[in-house]
Amino acid sequence: MHFGPHLLLAALEGLVTSAVLALTALGLSLVFGVMRVVNVAHGEFFMLGAVLAWAISTAISGHPALGFLAALVLAPLIVGLIALVSERLVLRRLNYNPEATIVATIGMLYIIQQLALTFYGPEARPVEPPFSYRILLPWFGYSGYKLSIIAASALLLVATWFVLTRTKIGLVMRATQYDSETAQAFGIPVDRVYAGVFALGAMLAAVAAVLIVPISQAHYLMGQDPLLLSFIVVIIGGLGSLRGTVVAAVLIGLSDGIISVFFSPTLAKIIATLLVAMVLVFRPQGLFGTASR
Amino acid sequence: MKEASPAKAYALHLGVIVLLFALSFVLPEYHHGLLARIMVLAVFAMGYNMLFGYVGLLSLGHAMFFSAGLYGAGLAVIHLGWSVPAAFAAGLACGALLALVIGVLALRTSGVAFMIVTMMFAQVFYLIILYFAAWTGGDQGLVVPQSARVLVLGDTSLGLTNPTVRYMSALVLFSIVLLVTLAVARSKYGRVLVAIRENEERTKMLGYDTFSNKLAAVVVSGTICAASGAAYALLFGYVGSTFASVQYSILPLLWVLLGGAATTLGPLIGTLFMYYVVDITSGYTSAYLLIVGIALILLVLFFPKGILGTIRQRWLGWLP
């Protein structure tokens, strides 16, 4: 294959990564933006989504699309419920203290990971894609399912944007983000908003995982990379900024796809992580964010 | 905090050291080996406590300082054929230098950003170890050859593979670091660190240069962790990338939280307790990370001061 088509392939792969990453990182960013806490267990919610997708799609016989659709609806709901329960049992009792929350979510990370290992096992298991149509380009054939991931992710991002900026729920969330005490004084049930946002963040990660699992595989350690990449995206994009998150996800996804085609993936990760740490040190508001109030 | 009578505090610490020394002669072989390992890891926890307990800076990247010592000492022996004391010094130097660089950068941030930045630098360090697998052995790690692990003192040569020598070396390192921690905690410098933890703005206003005080604390903390890593490489003869992974940044946090942050003996108690809990439960289940996770959550929820912190608050106000 020549350089041009090779680059196109790398860019397409990068876009698929970006699409999934944008959803996952948006979940992390929402939780940080509204609640001001960092959820280290976010990657495990992603992993749970994928593992549940496998469980649901194997439980439902018939056409693979049927099982996949069921997983797409049920897995995020279950993950959201788990997040809700853990928010009630742990985070609320900690009063959302940022440092205690990080320690507690590290604990959650280990618990979820270990339970997945115990009940799901160490194997990586595939989920059948809902359809296997290949789009034939002049140089290579490309999976139609991968393109549909990009479309589905774009749709969900637009929907989230719509909810945040054009509905009452979004207004309440933004008010809580801007100043939770004043919001409380105006009768907004801040702790219910927090619970909802935490569940929503986990559900976004789970949806992203269900979308990606037919082309990767479900594995109990698969939450590590999305967590790190989401951190990177959220930091580059500016914490709590939706537009910045999406732009950064496309940037990171594309460069990750292209760099790892041409260079060693470990080297790519070293450079990316180091750059992001430097961004956090020298420009803590992110590349697109504005200085904090 | 009530002013401790220095004699009481030093007597307690010397008592602990004498107890550990005496245990060497009565413990069965298995626990003897385990305790040597725990003492070395408790040094790691004490280094972590220096920053987390006294300055209140929560780092999620201390595995890099531990492994800087581990690889600094281990690789000096394996590739350069250095003697044990020289390799140990090399490990310390690596840790101190790394801590200086990381400190200058990471201390520009605070709070949650500090936690994430330290975690990312540690991740970079971990990936670098994997990337240079030709020298570091990658995720397989390297074994430090037994023949090289001999400490020559004058005419006598002590094999560090001998259980008694190993235990005593661990005890010497542990005792030195314990007494250093105690001295720092009681010194004027230690008071400044606690003042920074309690109210940085006010400390700054009182005329203290908080940045260089914090930087010094990062370097001291990093060097102590590196000492633990270097001792681990030389005493137990293995260097591996697992020790640089995120998990080994979380473990000292857990040990210190459990034993009691900003207490001198807390790190030992936390490490001892957690090590035995994991050791005993791993007889029944392989899910030891589950125990770690549950312990972390229960500690932050119900027991944020840890074992010794609670004892100090309730009963023994003089405990350092």
Complex prediction ipTM: 0.83
Closest Cβ opposite residue A104 in set B105, B130, B300: B300
State which residue of chain A sits closest to B128, comparing Cα positions: A270
State which residue of chain B sits closest to A110, comparing Cα positions: B293
pLDDT one-digit tens code per residue, B36-77? 999 999 999 999 999 999 999 999 999 999 999 999 999 999
Does position A33 have pLDDT exceeding 90, yes or no? Answer: no
Distances from the Cα of B21 to the Cαs of B35, B41, B150, B271, B294, in angstroms?
A: 11, 17, 22, 18, 33
B150: β partners:
B159
A25 vs A197: CA distance, rounded Å:
14
What is the pLDDT, as a whole number, of residue B129? 94
Closest Cβ opposite residue B296 in set A107, A115, A280: A107
Where residue B29 falls among pLDDT bands split at 50, 70, 90? Answer: confident
State which residue of chain B sits closest to A106, comparing Cα positions: B293
User: Whose structure tokens read 């099982």?
Assistant: A67
Residues in chain A whose beta carbon is closer than 8 A to a beta carbon of chain B? Answer: 38, 90, 93-94, 98-100, 102-104, 106-111, 113-115, 117-118, 228, 231, 235, 264, 266-267, 269-270, 273-274, 276-278, 280-282, 284
The mean per-residue pLDDT over the stretch A99-104 comes to 85
Residues counted in chain B: 320
pLDDT one-digit tens code per residue, B48-59? 999 999 999 999
What is the pLDDT, as a whole number, of residue A293? 39
State which residue of chain B sits closest to A276, comparing Cα positions: B120
Does position B282 have pLDDT exceeding 90, yes or no? Answer: no
Where residue B1 falls among pLDDT bands split at 50, 70, 90? Answer: very low
Residue among B3, B192, B229 at smallest CA distance from B99: B229
Closest Cβ opposite residue B131 in set A111, A115, A270: A270
Where residue A288 falls among pLDDT bands split at 50, 70, 90? Answer: low
Does position A292 have pLDDT exceeding 60, yes or no? Answer: no
Chain B residues with CB-CB distance to A98 below 8 A: 111-112
Q: What is the DSSP string of A224-241?
A: HHHHHHHHHHHHHH-TT-
Are the C-beta atoms of residues A48 and A54 closer than 8 Å to each other? no
Residue B317 has which token pair? Answer: 């106000």
State which residue of chain A sits closest to B295, comparing Cα positions: A107
- Helices then strands, each counted (H, E), chain B: 14, 4
Interface with B, mutate which of A92, A93, A110 (most B CBs under 10 A): A110
- Residue A83 CB contacts under 8 Å (≥ 6 apart), including other chains: A45, A198, A199, A201, A202, A203
Rounded to a whole number of angstroms, the distance from the CA of B26 to the nearest CA of chain A is 36
Distances from the Cα of A83 to the Cαs of A29, A160, A239, B260, B300, in angstroms?
A: 16, 19, 21, 29, 18
The mean per-residue pLDDT over the stretch B88-106 comes to 96
Q: Do A99 and B117 touch (CB under 8 A)?
A: no
Q: Do A108 and B297 touch (CB under 8 A)?
A: yes
Least confident of A250-259, B43-52, B131-140: A250-259
Rounded to a whole number of angstroms, the distance from the CA of A61 to the nearest CA of chain B is 33
What is the pLDDT, as a whole number, of residue A155? 94
Please tell me which residue, A26 or A178, carries the higher pLDDT value: A26
Q: Do A104 and B295 touch (CB under 8 A)?
A: no
Rounded to a whole number of angstroms, the distance from the CA of A242 to the nearest CA of chain B is 19
State which residue of chain A sits closest to B125, comparing Cα positions: A270
Distances from the Cα of A273 to the Cαs of A106, A241, B120, B126, in angstroms?
A: 20, 20, 6, 11
- Helices then strands, each counted (H, E), chain A: 11, 2
Closest Cβ opposite residue B116 in set A90, A108, A231: A231
Where residue A63 falls among pLDDT bands split at 50, 70, 90? Answer: confident
pLDDT one-digit tens code per residue, B192-216? 999 999 999 999 999 999 999 999 9
pLDDT one-digit tens code per residue, A187-232? 889 999 999 999 999 999 999 999 999 998 899 989 988 888 888 8
Q: Do B108 and A118 touch (CB under 8 A)?
A: no
Does position A4 have pLDDT exceeding 90, yes or no? Answer: no
Interface with A, mutate which of B107, B112, B247, B277 (most A CBs under 10 A): B112
Closest Cβ opposite residue B113 in set A109, A273, A280: A280
How many CB atoms are located within 10 Å of the residue A28 CB? 28
B259 vs A187: CA distance, rounded Å:
42
Chain A residues with CB-CB distance to B126 below 8 A: none
A49 vs A207: CA distance, rounded Å:
7
Q: Do B115 and A102 touch (CB under 8 A)?
A: yes
How many CB atoms are located within 10 Å of the residue B314 CB? 9
Are the C-beta atoms of residues A31 and A197 closer than 8 Å to each other? yes
**CB contacts < 8 A (A, B):** 102
pLDDT one-digit tens code per residue, B9-26? 888 999 999 999 999 999
Residue A237 has which token pair? Answer: 């994009």
Residue among B132, B39, B32, B308 at smallest CA distance from A264: B132
Are the C-beta atoms of residues A206 and A49 closer than 8 Å to each other? yes
Whole-number average pLDDT of chain A: 87
Chain A residues with CB-CB distance to B297 below 8 A: 90, 104, 107-108, 111
Q: Do A107 and B131 touch (CB under 8 A)?
A: no
Does position A290 have pLDDT exceeding 60, yes or no? Answer: no
Does position B296 have pLDDT exceeding 60, yes or no? Answer: yes
What are the structural domain ranges in chain B? 14-245
The mean per-residue pLDDT over the stretch A59-81 comes to 91
Does position B105 have pLDDT exceeding 70, yes or no? Answer: yes
Q: Do A264 and B123 touch (CB under 8 A)?
A: no
What is the pLDDT, as a whole number, of residue B22? 92
Whole-number average pLDDT of chain B: 89
Q: Do A38 and B115 touch (CB under 8 A)?
A: yes
Backbone angles phi, psi at B192, to 5 degrees: -65, -40
Interface with B, mutate which of A38, A85, A101, A111 (most B CBs under 10 A): A111
Please tell me which residue, A290 or A55, carries the higher pLDDT value: A55
Does position A175 have pLDDT exceeding 60, yes or no? Answer: yes
Closest Cβ opposite residue A228 in set B112, B123, B301: B123
Chain A residues with CB-CB distance to B58 below 8 A: 99, 102-103
